[in-house]
Structure 1
């Protein structure tokens, strides 16, 4: 049975109260359920990509990009999803899903073609074909701050041309972050439950303050404050930047904190690890049509 609930722990409740949106958050939270409705299942089966968030074996959080032909992600029951192919071998989450236990997992399916997105959080376990996900929270988000793109090319994932690992941003990586109009962020709550979310804006909305620190403004959203609430309880976070024209990805792991000032919020992220995979994804997207909601 799909039972709506408001999955707010004390971290999210504290941020909602501080910003003055408790009533709005309570209303929006009623849309969150455990069941995958037919419209959500149909949406998933059309997607050529899925972003996930989880902790690696050392407890570091990462956000990763999974890709495949439409149908590689599909609902197999009212609360279960199969992800064909699993996590690529080069990815920092490749060994994050041992066979002897279920691992907390956050996912977000985002379609730049239609500016639609849905989030599905729960636990995952490996299967011979990839991953099996048990849903605990399923909900859609509004199209705010989503850039529209057309898909020009797609195929099966391939091994990356090169993988570079480090503990700080290189000059080229800093320029890529500054040019980004979209990124994804993985966080966990006080109970270890994982979440994957999206952040968008015009290029330059993400600042590089040093080789080990980036920051961005927290724009007004759906009033849930799931990401900021998680960070208030557990500072670990993982960021994913995608080069939409080449398929390259840049993953960052570290910690984040939120600075509150009158009428504004800024999230500051400290980098402790980086993984850059060049030309790893098979998807090629057009230049963006920026969201009219972008400041």
Structure 2
């Protein structure tokens, strides 16, 4: 019998929302190797997003950037990362996390072309090089990606950035979240398999309740429900927001909960008619001011973005 590429959490959400057939038709897109056409795309990326898990089992989302060539694909089953070519802060939790848990999930995204590709696998260190054995890889549709380009100044000394941490979101953190039109989310299933994805919408699409809980609409997508399936099984989740004007990166960790059947006229409008949201309650955050220095040019918002009220 063919092994299902979906775990029980993903299957549960697909059943709950009546999308089993749609998801099943797409299962062949998930493969244990990188598709040949995506190899040059991956190797041209100088900014990537990656999820990792700390010693407590909490997923974190990180952004790594560096010189062209810091990332190589070896025979479609293995990725090589050269830490010496990475320019992002070496203090990032990613580097600590992979010392205790080898499971990681990559998101490669090019905003100019609205192209994104995910690779999940296991990382090991060999002679100073990070080697990632591919477990699964697959592409995503271009929906909700804002078209634009980020040009980084890699002469910037990211290790001199100003880092602050906390457990309760403060004014600066709330402001960044409330202005954002994009964030990145890392999650895992109960067996530890990591995944990193993208969420986008119009400015302010993530709303914040009076107690600091983030309310995130789940828009229509590919019906695989990788992120929601992970949350169903394992609520601990990591988010990452970026402020291109200041080079600030905000990493949040906490617990998420899926909300179904939110079918008021307003809720249907802001969720793109799905009536599905997820709440995120922050337990810890890391605010890194000067994480990067770059110039962001926004071309156009995604035409698929639902309204924000």
Give the TM-score normalised by structure 1: 0.92
- Which position in structure 1 is the counterpart of 2:112? 113
Q: How far 1:283 sits from its partner (Å)?
A: 3.7
Q: C-alpha distance in 1, partners of 2:206/2:18?
A: 25
Deviates more, 1:153-162 or 1:201-210: 153-162
- State how many pairs are aligned: 290
Q: C-alpha distance in 2, partners of 1:57/1:266?
A: 29
Q: C-alpha distance in 2, partners of 1:251/1:109?
A: 18
Q: C-alpha distance in 2, partners of 1:130/1:252?
A: 28
- Which position in structure 1 is the counterpart of 2:103? 104
In terms of fraction of residues, the more helix-rich structure is 2
Deviates more, 1:149-158 or 1:283-292: 149-158
SS of structure 1 residue aligned to 2:16:
helix
- Which position in structure 1 is the counterpart of 2:96? 95
State whether residues 54 and 104 of structure 1, in contact with CA within 8 Å, keep that contact through their aligned partners in structure 2: yes
Deviates more, 1:115-124 or 1:158-167: 158-167
State whether residues 51 and 62 of structure 2, in contact with CA within 8 Å, keep that contact through their aligned partners in structure 1: yes
Q: Which string of whole-angstrom CA distances, capped at 9 and with x for unpartnered residues, describes residues 108-165 of structure 1?
A: 0011111101000011123444421111111110100000112344425621420011
Aligned 1:141-152 pairs, distance under 5 A: 141-152=140-151
Q: 1:84 aligns with which of 76, 82, 85?
A: 82
Q: How far 1:102 sits from its partner (Å)?
A: 6.1
State whether residues 161 and 279 of structure 1, in contact with CA within 8 Å, keep that contact through their aligned partners in structure 2: yes
- Which position in structure 1 is the counterpart of 2:185? 185
Output the aligned Cα RMSD: 1.9
- Which position in structure 2 is the counterpart of 1:60? 58
- Over 6 Å off, 4+ runs: none
Q: How far 1:169 sits from its partner (Å)?
A: 1.0
SS of structure 2 residue aligned to 1:220:
coil
State whether residues 89 and 291 of structure 2, in contact with CA within 8 Å, keep that contact through their aligned partners in structure 1: no
Q: How far 1:78 sits from its partner (Å)?
A: 2.0
Deviates more, 1:278-287 or 1:115-124: 278-287
SS of structure 2 residue aligned to 1:39:
helix
- Which position in structure 2 is the counterpart of 1:36? 34
Give the TM-score normalised by structure 2: 0.88
Deviates more, 1:228-237 or 1:155-164: 155-164
State whether residues 54 and 101 of structure 2, in contact with CA within 8 Å, keep that contact through their aligned partners in structure 1: no
